[in-house]
Amino acid sequence: MSETKKENVTANPKALLPILVFLLLYLGTGIYFEYVDKNSDGMGFYIMSVVVAFGIALIVAFMQNRKLDFGEKIHICSKGIGDDNITIMLFIFLMSGAFSGIAKAAGGVESTANFLLSIVPGQFAVPGLFVIACLIAMSMGTSVGTITVLVPIAAAVASAAGYNLAMCVATVVGGAMFGDNLSFISDTTIAATKTQGVEMKDKFRENFKIALPAAVLTIVINVAMTFTSGSADLGNCEYTIGLALPYFVVLLMALCGINVFVVLGTGIVLFLIMGGLCGDLNFTSAFSAMGTGTEGMFETMIVTILVASISALMKENGGFEAILDTIRRFSKTKKGGMFGIALLTALMDVATANNTVAIVVAAPIAKTVSEEYGIDPKKTASLLDTCSCILQGIIPYGAQLLIAASLAGISSVKIIPWLFYPFLLLIFVVFSILLDKD
């Protein structure tokens, strides 16, 4: 472990009570409405607002530590919210929302998907869907958006060629999680990198070393399972190359390591131009769509502010030190610290059913563990993003599987056995930790 300057804070497990309150509220109501009261249309984990749950948790945090008056606690929260990386993260969320909004209104997603489908041979339809899902999710920065577009196509492919429907749907989900994990404009990437103070390109390199082998093996499995079966007729894929072009430009710029603000700004301008020239986008609809897109990020931004406040108070009250003491009891090595970060992130995603929220909650604690154990911040950011995406792509009550199952007309549980990519990614994450040099 590296020698780090420790603050004079005594470990206090009671300081973690706000997180326990949040989990009881959010996870408890989710389990009840998902499995007890089944009138929630399969979306029981989304009945209790995550903002409300965190709001109540913040009230609990304020009620603790009576040695500090209300004004001092407000000051602690303001320092947590005012961190440079939190501020940058909030601004990127706004631009990312505007980009997603105008891209959707311009029809860029459909044109990109259809363009890629048009060049995939019928006998490689399933592995082709995986690669297309990877590329679209990387360009869009959202796994849910990718799944919404591609699952109906996957269902049609399964019907036309006689493939297993759950397998085809799982292929899209796996590709979507790959792209979400590696995208430079994904909210998970933004949260993981900015909370750890690292560059997106550095986190990308760490992720890529783990994700690429898992993706290649997934493609090999898909080819082996479908190559001897019938060839899928993908039909006439209509697209406008001008509406697909901005996504490819954004992807290329991001891979070149260009500043994310420049990348998103360029993407917005390109969709504004190409949407007007090649589509039905006009001045009014373009700015209306950008407004709708930014509104879609408000919940994530509010959660970020609430979690930053709760984390600052928990750290001040000794909560982080209590977690460190627990990790110290089970491991004295850097590898143990990395497993601790991975497990913490995974459990947070299981509890919240939202990979971005899981990262935002786990990140401050992960940063403390990273400093204590001498873990490279790039590796910490990679573990946060990757482990949250693994669990988010597997849990049957997460938005990704629920939406995919709804579009395909099957149970989300039936998709899980065919999720080759998330399970392979989990294996490679474990290997990456075990093979890391202490």
Give pLDDT, residue 4.
Answer: 39
Q: Are 41 and 265 in contact (CB under 8 A)?
A: no
Q: Are 46 and 33 in contact (CB under 8 A)?
A: no
Among residues 121, 115, 206, 225, the alpha carbon closest in space to that of 166 is found at 225
Among residues 400, 332, 17, 428, the alpha carbon closest in space to that of 179 is found at 400
CA atoms of 112 and 241, how far apart (whole Å): 8
- With tokens 């009261």, the residue in question is 37
Decide if 199 is inside a domain: yes
Give pLDDT, residue 228.
Answer: 65
Q: Quick count: other Cβ atoms within 10 Å of Cβ 215? A: 24
CA atoms of 104 and 144, how far apart (whole Å): 13
- H runs (alpha helix) in 32-107: 50-63, 70-81, 84-106
Q: What are phi and psi of 377, to 5 degrees?
A: -55, -30
Cα angle: 86, vertex 136, 47; to 5 degrees: 60
Decide if 78 is inside a domain: no
Going from the C-alpha of 230 to that of each of 41, 169, 226, 237, 265, the distances in angstroms are 35, 17, 8, 20, 44
Decide if 180 is inside a domain: yes
Residues 6+ apart with CB under 8 A from 242: 274, 277, 278
Torsion of CA 148, 34, 358, 290, to 10 degrees: 40
**271-325 tens-digit pLDDT:** 999 988 887 888 889 999 999 989 988 888 898 899 889 988 988 898 888 888 8
Decide if 231 is inside a domain: yes
Give the count of domains, the chain. Answer: 1
Residues 6+ apart with CB under 8 A from 357: 50, 300, 303, 307, 348
CA atoms of 15 and 294, how far apart (whole Å): 34
* Structural domain range at position 284: 86-295
Confidence of residue 431 (pLDDT cuts 50, 70, 90): very high
Decide if 289 is inside a domain: yes
End-to-end, the C-alpha distance of the chain in Å comes to: 9
Confidence of residue 38 (pLDDT cuts 50, 70, 90): low
Give pLDDT, residue 166.
Answer: 92
**369-428 tens-digit pLDDT:** 898 889 999 999 999 999 999 999 998 878 888 888 888 888 888 899 999 999 999 999
Decide if 259 is inside a domain: yes
Tell whether the model's pLDDT for residue 40 goes beyond 60: no
Among residues 314, 257, 231, the alpha carbon closest in space to that of 57 is found at 314
Decide if 253 is inside a domain: yes
Decide if 147 is inside a domain: yes
Q: Are 336 and 383 in contact (CB under 8 A)?
A: no
